[in-house]
Amino acid sequence: MIAPTGPSPRVLLVWDAPNMDMSLGSLLGARPTSAFRPRFDAVGRWLLDVAGPDSVAEATVFTNVVPGSTEVVRPWVEALRNVGFAVFAKPKVTEDSDVDDDMLAHIQLRASEGHLEHVVVASGDGRAFREPLEELQRSGIPITVIGFREHASFALNSEVIEFVDLEDIEGVFREPLPRITLDSLPDTGAWLPPFRSLRSLLESRR
């Protein structure tokens, strides 16, 4: 007897690009160079491992596009799509034109369709995500947050959300992130480099 078939279980990744970019820039104290930009192919392989062979892995990135920046953003969006990520892009025309509501709406859509087995959210935005994600967890859908431990206290402090530091995912960064902070000083001490050149003090007076 052949078992009835239906929609496969789904593992959904929702990547909050504005928040992840801001968190990484804050961590580095500058705009990330290519060595410190996350490799989405490595994130995709990790998601496939989480999903396993019997589940559908859906990887999505939500981003804002500032008017006039399309030529800069286009290669990144196309690279994501070539890896297998879907991209939701929204013009950043006002301060309220963020993508939080769009991410939550997509998660709720997949949950309402059924067969949602696991939700992974890449964001440190506890204000937008903590309550909805904990509610989903209570409904029986496991939740994982990936991000940076320095900027994801809502997930680290949650009793029901699993947290995975992005740097702990194999191959995501080509070089170790410079993550020495006052909370993680080695016994021998460490240098904390300036965030900007001292000469910028003179430039600000012009």
CATH number at residue 39: 3.40.50.1010
- Residue 194 within any structural domain of the chain: no
Residue 100: inside a domain: yes
Which two three-digit tokens encode residue 95?
């301060």
State the residue range of the domain holding 70: 10-179
Domain contains 54: yes
Q: What is the pTM of this model?
A: 0.85
Q: Tens-of-pLDDT digits for all 206 residues of the chain?
A: 455 566 789 999 999 999 999 999 888 877 887 788 999 999 999 999 999 999 999 999 999 998 888 898 999 999 999 999 999 999 988 877 789 999 999 999 999 998 999 999 999 999 999 999 999 999 999 999 999 998 899 999 999 999 999 999 999 998 888 776 677 677 788 777 666 678 778 876 65
Is 68 domain-assigned? yes
The per-residue pLDDT for 160 is 93
3-class SS of residue 50: helix
Instruction: Decide if 98 is inside a domain.
Output: yes
134 found inside a domain: yes
pLDDT value of position 1 = 46
